[in-house]
Amino acid sequence: MIKMILKGVVMGVANIIPGVSGGTMAVSMGVYDKMIHAATHLFSEFKKSMKILIPIVIGMLLGIVVLARIIEYMFAKVPFQTNLLFIGLIIGGLPAIGKKVKGKTIRVGHILAFLLFFGLVAGLALLGEQEGAAADLSFNLVNIVKLFGVGIVASATMVIPGVSGSMMLMLMGYYNPVLSEINNFIDNLIHFNMPGILEGCKVLVPFGIGVVIGIFAIAKIIEVIFDRFPEYAYWAIIGLIVASPVAILVMNSFGAITIFTIISGIVALVVGVIIALNLGEE
């Protein structure tokens, strides 16, 4: 239970950092397949699915609510070390996914799947270097529909390994506005400011409904792909994961580089690998 919550925490934190994929972290933590199966069999295997999903969701909420500002502070103060920590978390997950294709014949189609999805993530990262104009979050029917759609797109990309949901929000101009709304909502909730809570709900409820629907919809599609083309799917995921460190390097700043930052960055990288390897153990 505690281990699953910790995995959820890592995924939650990853989902709010541009260039870092919550889906990749799920693979690194060794929980991706179980999470997809639980989401697509929620009603047919309710108790079993909830046993997996509840601790993950609790962990993700803790990661977003409690650790988001800590991670934000770390990126502001020690960006080099923090980026390498997440790169380490990603690298530490590669052995687990590598076992899925180990010993099997590598076909041309597998290589093409790897290259295609590697290029997809790297390309999105290059496009996402600058955030577009901030989206309008004023309360009206058009914006409600937009927020619902943005929630679907963002959550779908959160589930796909290697594709950063927060990066997609940046490309659409919703990253900073939505993150600001989440932080304001949490502050209003802590101080029990009802007008502020209700104001936040105008944005977060349609966005949240879109997120939930997007997760379940894409999970079903992914399950079908894994059932019919498992080896191609795993090679595509390997391409997405290998490209993720590239996306992090492109999307985030590293600040001033000194001998100390390099040494401490290497330590952070190793720590990230160790955490992923240990949390990924079954």
Q: pLDDT of 63-113, one tens digit each? A: 877 776 777 678 778 889 988 988 888 788 778 778 878 888 889 999 999
Least confident of 149-153, 197-201, 266-270: 149-153
| CA 153 to each of CA 149, 163, 177, 209, 250: distance values in angstroms, whole numbers, following the listed order | 6, 11, 16, 12, 22
Whether the per-residue pLDDT at 183 is higher than 50: the answer is yes
Q: Which of 32-36, 64-68, 136-140 has the lowest mean pLDDT?
A: 64-68
* Confidence (pLDDT) at 43: 85
Q: Measured between alpha carbons, how far is 102 from 83 in angstroms, rounded to an integer? A: 29
Say what the pLDDT of residue 169 is.
75
* Cα pseudo-dihedral 4, 10, 15, 21, rounded to 10: -100
Q: Which pLDDT belongs to residue 153?
A: 79
For 196-229, the DSSP string reads HHHHHHHHHHHHHHHHHHHHHHHHHHHHHHHHH-
Token code pair at residue 175 = 């990253």
Q: Tokens for 71?
A: 């991670």
Q: Which pLDDT band holds residue 61 (cuts at 50, 70, 90)?
A: confident
pLDDT of residue 193: 92
Which amino acid is it at 122? A
Verdict on whether the full-model pTM lies above 0.75 = no
Mean per-residue pLDDT of the chain: 82
Rounded to whole angstroms, the Cα distance separating 113 from 260 reads 39
| Alpha carbons 279 and 275: distance in angstroms, whole number | 6
For residues 67 and 16, what is the distance between their CA atoms, to the nearest angstrom?
10
Residue 11 confidence class, pLDDT cut points 50, 70, 90:
confident
